[in-house]
């Protein structure tokens, strides 16, 4: 009386297992996803002083970075860097790389998301 029956309990347990499985799968794929977004951010970035072929601009002084990126423009390089910090945090958590193996400057900035 008033409690869940065996069928409801079984469905709830099955649902919980599916959620755990999806979370595990998400954790496994997250480094690959971050790597893809790092590459995308680098490709999309406009680097001051370089043309589309990554050659120095001829006859022009390289503009200052703040002149090249407007307030309403997305900072692709910063985004790529943030995603890279998540990538390194994930591979450290997965045990693929030891934190001690990372350069000190990177180790201090790695972003680790606890699950």
**What gap in Å lies between CA 98 and CA 93, rounded to an integer?**
9
pTM above 0.85, yes or no: no
* Chain-centre distance for alpha carbon 64: 27
Tens digits of per-residue pLDDT, 86-113? 999 999 999 999 999 999 999 999 999 9
Q: Summarize pLDDT for 1-55 with one digit per residue, the tens.
A: 567 788 899 999 999 999 999 999 999 999 999 999 999 999 999 877 776 666 6
Tokens linked to 70: 């407007």
């Amino acid at each position: 009386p008033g409690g869940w029956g065996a069928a409801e309990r079984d469905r709830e347990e099955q649902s919980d297992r599916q959620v755990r499985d999806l979370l595990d799968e998400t954790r496994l794929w997250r480094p690959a996803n971050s790597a893809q977004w790092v590459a995308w951010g680098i490709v999309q970035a406009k680097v001051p002083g370089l043309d589309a072929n990554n050659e120095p601009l001829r006859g022009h002084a390289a503009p200052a970075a703040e002149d090249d990126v407007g307030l309403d423009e997305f900072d692709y390089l910063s985004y790529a860097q943030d995603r890279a910090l998540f990538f390194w945090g994930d591979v450290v958590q997965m045990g693929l790389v030891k934190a001690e193996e990372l350069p000190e400057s990177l180790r201090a900035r790695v972003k680790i998301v606890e699950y």
